[in-house]
């Protein structure tokens, strides 16, 4: 009985090792953001085919681990949306004439205050997805967002591409930013938006276990390309429908110009309101809790 358990444990261990190596290889081996499991095994396997093996080492398979070739392709974002309908959301109900404006990568001290000024002038409330290290740099702007009645969401600590990360580093990205927001505002947000909209199945399942909703979008302003106000307004207004979640950016890094998205905002708000659409926050649109 004891021997049987040992054999089972050994089999499980080797399976887990293979799977990790395969995953890293499939992702191109980019471990720059990863500090957790997987890094060691990949580095060891990357040492090259031609080096001389020690007597105790087992030669690697020339074309990579079995899993690289045999595992089914990961689910696409659309597949994941279908599979996790109540957790991973792209839009709200079309039955209500409501749309949610969302602003990512906040805060900065240049564009975020301008976005807030426009929203205030129109009495519109929106949802802001916060990058943790930017919140640490500008806590006063985060306080202003909350004080003016907007909703805050978690957008990771430093905006990595999440599917490439180890579990530990991914969890830290979420928890750290959640703690920063809670310290500044007293609110434990339950909204998470993955950087670039990219996320994998295990990460969605973990966020669900932490009572997070994962919020993507179905209307992209493409404002990050530095478009002018007319282009941003056209991108939004030609695709928006009742229930839409609109993506804009409310802060930029060095050299990023978001003046087009700020200038487009009055047009977007006025045209949508003229269509009888009410602008609401994500928790209002989706009827989910904003925080704890």
Q: How far is the CB of 193 from Zn ion (least distance, A)?
A: 7
Q: Under a CB-based contact definition with an 8 Å cutoff, are residues 104 and 159 in contact?
A: no
Which residue, 26 or 136, is less far from Zn ion as judged by CB? Answer: 136
Closest by CA to 74, choosing from 216, 202, 207, 210, is: 202
Alpha carbons 278 and 269: distance in angstroms, whole number? 9
Among 24, 87, 89, 104, indicate the residue that binds Zn ion (CB under 5 A).
Answer: 104
Q: How far is the CB of 223 from Zn ion (least distance, A)?
A: 12
Q: Is 104 a catalytic residue?
A: yes
DSSP conformation letters of 187-229: --B-EE--GGG---HHHHHHHHHTTPEEE--SEE--GGG---H
Nearest residue to the partner Zn ion, using Cβ: 104
Which residue, 195 or 250, is less far from Zn ion as judged by CB? Answer: 195
Chain centre distance of CA 155: 6
Q: How far is the CB of 44 from Zn ion (least distance, A)?
A: 33
Q: How far is the CB of 21 from Zn ion (least distance, A)?
A: 30
Instruction: Kindly provide the residue ranges of all beta strands, DSSP E only, lying in the chain, ordered along the sequence.
Output: 88-89, 98-106, 127-130, 151-154, 191-192, 213-215, 219-220, 245-249, 278-280
Catalytic, out of 150, 155, 159, 249? 249
Q: Is 158 a catalytic residue?
A: no
Number of residues that bind Zn ion (CB under 5 A): 3
Regarding 108 and contact with Zn ion (CB under 5 A), the answer is no
Which residue, 20 or 248, is less far from Zn ion as judged by CB? Answer: 248
Catalytic, out of 69, 79, 104, 202? 104
Q: Under a CB-based contact definition with an 8 Å cutoff, are residues 239 and 209 in contact?
A: no
Q: How far is the CB of 163 from Zn ion (least distance, A)?
A: 15
Among 98, 105, 223, 284, indicate the residue that binds Zn ion (CB under 5 A).
Answer: 105
Mark 150-189 with x for binding to Zn ion (rule: CB under 5 A) and - for no binding: ----------------------------------------
Q: How far is the CB of 248 from Zn ion (least distance, A)?
A: 11
Cα end-to-end span (Å), the chain: 48
Mark 185-224 with x for binding to Zn ion (rule: CB under 5 A) and - for no binding: ----------x-----------------------------
Which residue, 17 or 136, is less far from Zn ion as judged by CB? Answer: 136
Q: Residue 243 burial (CB < 10 Å; 0-12/13-18/19+)?
A: buried
Which residue, 33 or 45, is less far from Zn ion as judged by CB? Answer: 33
Closest by CA to 173, choosing from 151, 150, 192, 146, is: 192
Q: Are strands 98-106 and 245-249 parallel, antiparallel or unpaired?
A: parallel
Active site residues: 104, 249
Site residues (vs Zn ion, CB under 5 A) = 104-105, 195
């Amino acid at each position: 009985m004891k021997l049987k358990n040992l054999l089972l444990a050994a089999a499980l261990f080797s399976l887990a090792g293979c799977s990790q190596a395969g995953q890293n290889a499939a992702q191109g081996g980019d471990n720059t953001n990863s500090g957790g499991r997987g890094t060691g095994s990949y580095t060891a396997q990357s040492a090259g085919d031609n080096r001389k093996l020690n007597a105790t080492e087992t030669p690697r398979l020339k074309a990579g681990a079995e899993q690289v070739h045999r595992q089914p392709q990961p689910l696409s974002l659309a597949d994941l949306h279908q599979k996790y309908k109540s957790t991973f959301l792209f839009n709200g109900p079309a039955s209500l004439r409501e749309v949610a404006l969302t602003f990512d990568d906040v805060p900065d001290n240049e564009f975020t205050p301008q976005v807030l000024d426009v929203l205030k002038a129109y009495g519109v409330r929106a949802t802001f997805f916060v990058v943790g290290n930017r919140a640490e740099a500008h806590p006063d702007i985060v306080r202003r967002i909350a004080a003016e009645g907007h909703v805050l969401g978690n957008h990771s600590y430093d905006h990595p591409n999440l599917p490439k990360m180890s579990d530990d580093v991914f969890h830290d990205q979420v928890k750290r930013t959640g703690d920063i927001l809670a310290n500044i505002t007293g609110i434990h947000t339950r909204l998470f938006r993955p950087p670039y909209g990219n996320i994998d199945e295990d990460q969605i399942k973990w966020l669900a276990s932490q009572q997070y909703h994962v919020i993507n979008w179905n209307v992209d302003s493409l404002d990050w390309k530095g478009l002018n106000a007319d282009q941003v307004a056209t991108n939004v207004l030609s695709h928006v429908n009742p229930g839409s979640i609109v993506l804009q950016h409310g802060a930029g890094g060095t050299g990023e110009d978001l003046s087009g998205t700020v200038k487009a905002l009055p047009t977007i708000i006025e045209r949508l309101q003229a269509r009888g659409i009410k602008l609401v926050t994500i928790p209002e649109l989706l009827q989910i809790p904003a925080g704890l």
